[in-house]
Amino acid sequence: MARDGPGNVGTHDSLSMRAVDLVLAVYNGAAAVAWTGALGRTAAAPWLVLVHATAMALPWVASRVGVGSPAWLRALREGYPLLLLYPFYAEVGMLHVAIGSPWHDAAVSAWDRSLFGAGWHRESYVLAPQRWLSETMHAFYASYYVLLAGPPLAAAWVRNGAAFRDISLRQMLTYTACFAVYLFFPVFGPGHMDPFPLDGRPEGLFPDLVRGAIAGGDSPGTAFPSSHVAGSVTAAWLGRRWFPRPVAALMTVGAIGVALGTVYTRNHYAIDAAAGAALAILLQTAVDRVGSRGR
């Protein structure tokens, strides 16, 4: 990944930044609508409606930051979307707990069996419970966090502004698309609805790490489509665009491993993984086509 010249922001990069702002404005509008359903049920709802409605003005606010602005403000202007990923994810669970939303696992589980002929979230571990395989699949699942954070951190480290802006746009588009579905179509996933029995729960270093991560940062209602798979496929796509071939190949292997690991560990139905991959491919193809026309 090559380094940009200092302060070099081309027309296409400016379009990428404005596109990120627009994506966030649309998502904030959707979140404001979703939180109106919690009015009268939680004291935080009116404030969150107001925050999201106000945040729809972010494109206008961000457009005020230009080349003459302080360096720290320009850095914040480019990096702020990625700082919102976890708060957006976490509030989905808060919303559904506040509303008492109906879960759609029965429908998604039926789609899963219809499409794949079996519930592979259960069958995969029953058919292959070996300790080494369990460790491998849980390690793949945990590698998602490297695939999520690696591309923007690498771009920031080498000061490649064009890569950072492209990564920000593509990641935010993928994740906000997933989060928008979660707001209005919550699915628990088999990790909640069909968990391992205590005597059959996998043990080991990576299973323990995965369980700890989920216990510390889970957000109920975020199973379909799998944002783990969607984000990992997006990372592989970014690897093809911005990283050397060996690194891109490794990121692709990681994305495939995450897709398999989400099902094996019972964090997602197989259809969650398939939907996440399909959504990411659709969105990244669209960005490629629109971007080529913009250039």
Q: Where are the domains of the chain?
A: 11-294
How would you class 237 by CB atoms within 10 Å of its CB: exposed for 0-12, middle for 13-18, buried for 19 or more? Answer: buried
Q: ω before 225 within 30° of 0 (cis)?
A: yes
Instruction: Give the predicted TM-score (pTM) of the model.
Output: 0.89
Q: CA 272 to CA 224: how far, in whole Å?
A: 5
Residue tagged 């400016």 (tokens): 14
Residue tagged 């200092």 (tokens): 6
Residue-level pLDDT, tens digit, the chain, 295 residues:
655 543 444 444 566 678 888 899 999 999 999 999 999 999 999 999 999 999 998 777 777 776 667 777 777 878 888 999 999 999 999 999 999 888 999 999 999 999 998 888 888 877 788 889 989 999 999 999 999 999 999 999 998 988 999 999 999 999 999 999 999 999 999 887 777 765 667 778 888 888 888 777 889 999 999 999 999 999 999 999 999 999 999 999 999 999 999 999 989 999 999 999 999 999 999 999 887 665 5
Q: CA 191 to CA 210: how far, in whole Å?
A: 12
Q: CA 258 to CA 231: how far, in whole Å?
A: 10
Residue tagged 């592979």 (tokens): 120
